[in-house]
Amino acid sequence: MFINKHPYSHFNRRGRYILPAGEIDIHMVTRNQIHGGLSGLDAHPLDHVAVCDAEEEGRWRAVCEWMLHNHPISRVIAVHERAVLLAAEMRSKFGLPGMQYETAERFRDKLRMKETVRAADAAELPEFVALDTPEDLTALDWGAGRKVIKSRRGLAAKDLYMVDTLDDARRIVAGLDLSGGRYGLEDFVTGQIYHCDSVVQQGRIRFTSVGRYLADPASYGPGRTFGTVLVREGELVKRINELNEAVLGALGIQDGTTHLELFHTPEDRLVFCEVAGRPPGGVIPPVIEWQYGFDIVETQIRIDAGLGFAPADPPQSTDDGTCGFIAFYPGCDNREIRPERFAALGIVEHLAHHGAGNGDGGVRHSTDFQDSYVVKAPDDATLLRRIAAIEDEYRG
């Protein structure tokens, strides 16, 4: 059973669908057509498809349970953040292999995640507390500076608020529903944000890729840009991999992929931010594929399905160059780079997102890109120059 919260066309990689429909019988539970859940299904059909409204969580659960009761399903696949917990719940309830609910909850609930990491002394953390009542705002030291109010189960930097004073925080909280353990409060960390993406098998990390964000994921907005560049060598990469290994060990993942984010502070400290028990989102998977030769989303699908997967051995870079991407949010002057310019700019792939934006000039989340360009270069300095040149040309 494949619990799918993406548009179905998301799994078409340059003309090849990465779902292993030729190897296994897939029963898909997906979003309705309004949200793109069936886009591309005609080109790569499945025999068993159930459609649910994107927001009706109870309906998703009921359909999944019906499928598991009435079909000989032995595995549950999930790659979207909003599907991971439901998939784990179904595995635990029906005794199926794969990530179980208790483990998935540690990856999904940011407060439980940080409590687990702190208890294991796996990484340095910002000070944090649950935000269940307005009185909880006083649990942290406001003299220490800016704070962050964030959804405990949020994704793509949604439901996240930066506040500089206690009075500002009280105004924000007055408009939030704090019931049900929905929010947390933590100290703001100043620093460059990195991500570390991994493949784990039987509790052992088989692959990692470290990247540096070119902008804060929480700073998305109309007319802005985002991106990442891979960081492949050096002492900092070694330290990030060590932190990643300690955190994943503390959270107890056995098989799957992960996407961890952390801060590198001006004082050279590494401070844990959060980690997801699923593949990275946005354009990071194409960057990894162009650099290392395998699709990390396909890898998660095959792990969940109990099939063989890449990388069979720790993959080496496909060449001596490096890779990254730049993305443009809705509101940028749309001057798509002409294909005949791709080679000169180092562009190896252009991803156009025709449904980007909220339809009213706004940006919905941190990966709500209008146009994205995967870029390769022989070295880090050239990569950054090419990304800057792409931005200049795109904006005209």
Q: Structure pTM?
A: 0.94
Q: 266, 274, 254: which is closest to 117 by C-alpha?
A: 274
Token pair for 155: 């994704």
Task: Report how far residue 362's alpha carbon sits from residue 4's, in angstroms, rounded to the nearest whole number.
Answer: 25
Residue-level pLDDT at 318: 57
Task: Report how far residue 28's alpha carbon sits from residue 51's, in angstroms, rounded to the nearest whole number.
Answer: 8
Q: HEC profile for the chain?
A: CEEECCCHHHHEECCEECCCCCCCCCEEEEECHHHCCCCCCCCCCCCEEEEECCCCHHHHHHHHHHHHHHCCCCCCECCCHHHHHHHHHHHHHHCCCCCCHHHHHHHHCHHHHHHHHHHCCCCECCCEEECCCHHHHHHCCHHHCCEEEEECCCCCCCCEEEECCHHHHHHHHCCCCCCCCCEEEEECCCCEEEEEEEEEECCEEEEEEEEEECCCHHHCCCCCEEEEEECCCCHHHHHHHHHHHHHHHHHCCCCEEEEEEEEECCCCCEEEEEEECCCCCCCHHHHHHHHHCCCHHHHHHHHHHCCCCCCCCCCCCCCCCEEEEEEECECECCCCCCHHHHHHHCEEEEEECCCCCCCCCCCCCCCCCCEEEEEEECCHHHHHHHHHHHHHHHHC
Q: Where are the domains of the chain?
A: 2-107, 127-187, 192-395
Q: What is the largest CA-CA distance in the chain?
A: 59
Alpha helices in 166-269 (DSSP H): 166-173, 235-251
Second-level CATH architecture of 127-187: 2-Layer Sandwich (3.30)
- Residue 282 buriedness (CB in 10 A; 0-12 / 13-18 / 19+): buried
> Which residues is 186 bridged to in the sheet?
128, 148
* pLDDT tens, the chain, 396 aa long: 999 999 899 999 988 999 999 999 999 999 987 767 888 899 899 999 999 998 899 999 999 999 999 999 999 999 999 999 999 999 999 999 999 999 999 999 999 999 999 999 999 999 999 999 999 999 999 999 999 999 998 765 667 899 999 999 999 999 999 999 999 999 999 999 999 999 999 999 999 999 999 998 888 889 999 999 999 999 999 999 999 999 999 999 999 999 999 999 999 999 999 999 999 999 999 999 999 999 999 999 999 999 988 765 655 555 679 999 999 999 877 678 999 999 999 999 999 988 788 888 888 888 899 999 999 999 999 999 999 999 999 988
Phi-psi region of 121 (alpha: psi -120 to 50; beta: other; left: phi over 0): left
Task: Report how far residue 362's alpha carbon sits from residue 388's, in angstroms, rounded to the nearest whole number.
Answer: 24
Whose tokens are 């994107």? That residue is 54
CATH node for 192-395: 3.30.470.20
Q: Amino acid letter at 138?
A: T
* Topology annotation, domain 2-107: Rossmann fold (3.40.50)
Task: Report how far residue 268's alpha carbon sits from residue 62's, in angstroms, rounded to the nearest whole number.
Answer: 49
Residue 121 contacts by C-beta under 8 Å, 6 or more apart in sequence? none
